[in-house]
Amino acid sequence: MAGSVFGNQFRIMTFGESHGKGLGVTIDGCPAGLSLCEEDIQKFLDRRKPGQSAFTTARKEADAVEILSGVFEGRTTGTPIALLIRNKDQHSKDYSNICDKFRPGHADYGFFSKYGFRDYRGGGRSSGRETAARVAAGAVAIKILESMGIFVHAYARSIGPVTAETVDLEEAKKNPVCMPDAKAAKMAGEFLEKCIKDQDSAGGVVECVVTGMPAGVGDPVFGKLDALLAQAIMSIGAVKGFEVGDGFLSASSTGSRNNDAFAVREGRITTLTNHCGGILGGISNGEDIVLRAAFKPTPSIAREQQTVNEAGEELPITIHGRHDPIIVPRAVVVVETMTAITLVDALLSNMGARLDAIIKFYGREL
């Protein structure tokens, strides 16, 4: 388990570095028969693409995806789908002055400790650019979910000290900070402008809501649906916290307030509240799945910082290059797609849960 594989039945392996030849992903286990073309994937990559607002790096990347395999006559064949995104705009020289220094808040020191040396160009494999491959794979997962009536939407719940008070999904698509609340988005923009002026950076919280998830998906014990989502989301660079439903708030609640009473509405079993976030005991209960990811502030800041080099000498470091003052707006689509990948995998695994359903599936009623 070397770290770049995720999922079991719907399994992805990613590759690529910030300043290498490109990034990519292979999906093994995508069901056959899904209509798929490059544009289906490109539109998700375009949401993650840099250079789209004042709050994202000026690096210009077309991030054009090429489907290398697994699609025949416009449909997936069931065999591996390889997706390749070539790097175009690599300013490797920007990094030459820091090649033997460990940038604070970055993975540099960890990589050096683990591997003995590292690709210092833009973080190499630990660059946020790595997430492009996740988004490409996740675009396929989202298309599968949508064919089943399951929809995934994420947005910035908070940016620095500013929290969205309302949730208007359409609004989140319009403003550069992906907040579902126009007023909060405006305040967040002002806050970020100040950050840039201060040569500083900000963090925030991404919230993700899944509608249409059937009840009964996820496994007991270690394979809990929220545990798998936690791994998926915490594996995104810069995420320091994860919660589902009321999350940390529930720790200070009481059982009588936190339990969601069951009821029947329109002939369907439902809950009157959704403190649990759609998952109980690790298994979906048919309500909306609600999760949140806490992103730390971008570690690359223009201010001089204190660090150490590979020789073990203390010295100052100034990071040039092009960096987002905040990761959150571009991470929204990463959270959506990692959520989708996890759910597709869980839905496929779940098909073997009941013997009667298996017998029926294989048309083997004896």
Which helix (H) or strand (E) element contains residue 317?
Answer: strand 314-317
- Residue 274 found at the interface with its own copies (CB under 8 A): no
- Cβ proximity of 322 and 59 under 8 Å: yes
- Contact between 190 and its own copies per CB under 8 A: no
Contact pick of 74, 197, 255, 266 for its own copies (by CB under 8 A): 255
Q: Pick the stretch among 42-50, 53-61, 62-70, 169-177 that binds its own copies (CB under 8 A).
A: 62-70
In whole angstroms, give the CA distance from residue 146 to residue 343: 12
Strand partners, 295: 204, 239
How far are the Cα atoms of 19, 304, 311, 325 from residue 103, in angstroms, in the given order? Answer: 17, 11, 14, 16
Q: How far is the CB of 32 from its own copies (least distance, A)?
A: 4
Pull the structure tokens for residue 171. 């609004």
- The correct pick among 245, 329, 332, 333 for binding its own copies (CB under 8 A) is 245
Q: Residue 155: beta bridge partners?
A: 207
Residue carrying structure tokens 């993700």 = 208
Query: How do strand 305-308 and strand 289-295 relate by DSSP bridges?
Result: unpaired
Using DSSP's 3-state secondary structure scheme, residue 93 falls into helix
Closest CB to its own copies among residues 171, 345: 345
- Residue 266 interacts with its own copies (CB under 8 A): yes or no: no
Q: How far apart, in whole angstroms, are the C-alpha atoms of residue 300 and residue 103?
A: 8
Residue 132 as a binder of its own copies (CB under 8 A): the answer is no
Q: Does 122 bind its own copies (CB under 8 A)?
A: no
Task: Decide: is 8 part of the binding site for its own copies (CB under 8 A).
Answer: yes
Segment contacting its own copies (CB under 8 A): 5-13, 41-49, 164-172, 182-190?
5-13
Q: Structure tokens of 301?
A: 């800041």
Write down the least CB distance from residue 51 to its own copies, Å.
Answer: 20
Q: How far is the CB of 17 from its own copies (least distance, A)?
A: 6
CA distance 204 to 252: 22
Out of 40, 182, 286, 321, the residue judged to bind its own copies by CB under 8 A? 286
List 52, 78, 182, 196, residue binding its own copies (CB under 8 A): 78
Decide: is 96 part of the binding site for its own copies (CB under 8 A): no
Which of 56, 175, 300, 339 lies at the binding interface for its own copies (CB under 8 A)?
A: 300
Backbone angles phi and psi of 50, in degrees to 5: -75, 170
- CA distance to 50, 57, 123, 327, per residue, from 89 (Å): 11, 12, 15, 19
* Residue 361 CB neighbours (<10 A): 11
Nearer to its own copies, 16 or 189 (CB): 16
Nearest alpha-carbon partner for 85 in 130, 29, 143, 124: 130
Q: How many CB atoms lie within 10 A of CB 306?
A: 9
Q: How far is the CB of 327 from its own copies (least distance, A)?
A: 10
Q: Which of 43, 51, 54, 72 forms a contact with its own copies (CB under 8 A)?
A: 72
Count interface residues toward its own copies (CB under 8 A): 175
Region 191-210 residues binding its own copies, contact defined as CB under 8 A: 195, 198-205
Which of the ranges 48-56, 182-190, 246-254, 329-337 carries the binding residues for its own copies, by CB under 8 A? 246-254
Q: Judged by CB, which is closer to its own copies: 48, or 125?
A: 125
Site string for its own copies, 323-362 (x = CB under 8 A): ------------------------xxxxxxxxxxxxx-xx
Q: How far is the CB of 74 from its own copies (least distance, A)?
A: 11
Structure tokens at 38: 């490059």
